[in-house]
Amino acid sequence: MPQGDPVKTLAELRRLGRARSTAIGFIVVVLVIGSMAAACRLNYSSLLPTRKVAIATGEWGPMVVRTDSTGGPTIRFAASVLGSAGFDPVVSFATWETAYSRVERGEAFAAVPVVSSATRLRDFTLSAPFLSVEYRIFYNRARMNGDSISATELREKKTAFLAGYDYWPSASSDFQNVALDKFGNKYSAHAAFEALRDGTVDLVLEGLEQGRYITQSDRFAGDSAQFGTIPPMRSNQLGFPVSDQAPLHFLFSRSMDPRVVEKVNSAIIRFRGTDEYHELEMASLGCLNTKAAWNEDVDPVPLRSTSGSTFTVTEGTEVRVIVWGGQDTRCPAAATIPLPAGFALAKIWSGPDKGILSVVPVSSLKTGE
């Protein structure tokens, strides 16, 4: 007869049972510890404290505003992006040249906002793009007509290239008659518009919203209506660009750890898909969000929405002014809507007609409350 396995004694069976229980218990412990370790790895970054970093910037309203509690749209953007990347930005204001020098010397984590240029790409590292600025050529309407001036005349005009700014590549060759201040330096933005007002310079290269912000501010002693910009559509006729739309970036030192730059870039890309980014982008394009209310001293009048429906606004209704009429603007909402002076493109903000976009008489609105 074939021999089978020997019959185990009761003591041997008990020892085998205990061994199996120990092995199973060991496996369970290993699995639990592994799961806990994985969970710790997944949540490790959320447990780390944010790292304070110095951000250098300059006054550049309406994008960067020193007196705004949030710092303006660009600083709000920087705070959101850097916060999600694990950084706690501490913002300081300086001239643009000082901001770049601080980054170069390692005294600041980054400068913001900046546009790309060959020089900056050579000397620094730039982040992924966000928002944008449209550079225009401002002139004094009392001294020239931007709609009819010739290319030869334009090239001969005294042009203020602002301190710390980089423009489109051909700007320095197309506008060679560079105007400097009384100290032999490039103008600051505010000083350049004062010089444009007084006739010391003929042209100023600045962002469309930025130039308007300066000339409409209570710090500027002059009438904003006396300044115009050369229409971008004249570029082909003149034979050289008279405007440029440029995305904005964080500026890092060349020695910045590429992994840190990639972390910030990933945060920028994520943030670009949010509603908050859309709001900031509209602000950067010149779309306003000015609070106003329907004037109770004005009789309600039938209005037509941009979609064609008719409605009547009652006194006290809240509105948001998107664009004031009679102004050059990049705001997409006003791209196909005739908007003469004395009118505004506004969104109804309260009441049964909330959300409707309409062209309304400025005289019907009260602002500043």
Domain of residue 354: give its range: 290-367
My answer on whether 174 and 38 are in the same domain is no
Nearest to 139 by CA among 58, 60, 286, 243: 243
Residue 119 lies in a domain: yes
Q: pTM to 2 decimals? A: 0.76
Residue 112 lies in a domain: yes
Residue 310 lies in a domain: yes
179, pLDDT greater than 70: yes
CA-CA-CA-CA dihedral for 181, 183, 186, 190, to nearest 10? -60
Residue owning tokens 């490039």:
186
My answer on whether 173 and 261 are in the same domain is no
What CATH number did the domain enclosing 178 receive?
Answer: 3.40.190.10
My answer on whether 337 and 202 are in the same domain is no
How far apart CA 214 and CA 60 sit, in angstroms, is 9
My answer on whether 140 and 236 are in the same domain is yes
Domain count, the chain: 4
My answer on whether 62 and 101 are in the same domain is yes
Over range 73-86, report the average pLDDT: 94
Token digits of residue 326: 């009679």
My answer on whether 37 and 64 are in the same domain is no
My answer on whether 42 and 55 are in the same domain is no
Mean pLDDT of the chain: 85
My answer on whether 23 and 106 are in the same domain is no
The predicted-structure confidence for 94-150, as pLDDT tens digits, reads as follows 999 999 999 999 999 999 999 999 999 999 999 999 999 999 999 999 999 999 999
Residue owning tokens 């780390």:
48
Residue 32 lies in a domain: yes
Report the pLDDT value the prediction gives residue 14, as an integer from 0 to 100: 56
Report the pLDDT value the prediction gives residue 189, as an integer from 0 to 100: 96
My answer on whether 19 and 121 are in the same domain is no
Report the pLDDT value the prediction gives residue 12, as an integer from 0 to 100: 56
What CATH number did the domain enclosing 362 receive?
Answer: 2.30.30
Residue 1 lies in a domain: no
DSSP-derived pairing of the beta strands 243-253 and 130-140:
antiparallel
Between 42 and 108, the higher pLDDT residue: 108
Residue 5 lies in a domain: no
Residue 4 lies in a domain: no
My answer on whether 98 and 179 are in the same domain is no
Between 297 and 355, the higher pLDDT residue: 355
43, pLDDT greater than 60: no
My answer on whether 307 and 355 are in the same domain is yes
44, pLDDT greater than 70: no
Sign of CA dihedral 197, 202, 203, 204: negative
My answer on whether 221 and 270 are in the same domain is no
The predicted-structure confidence for 249-265, as pLDDT tens digits, reads as follows 999 999 999 999 999 99
81, pLDDT greater than 70: yes
Residue 155 lies in a domain: yes
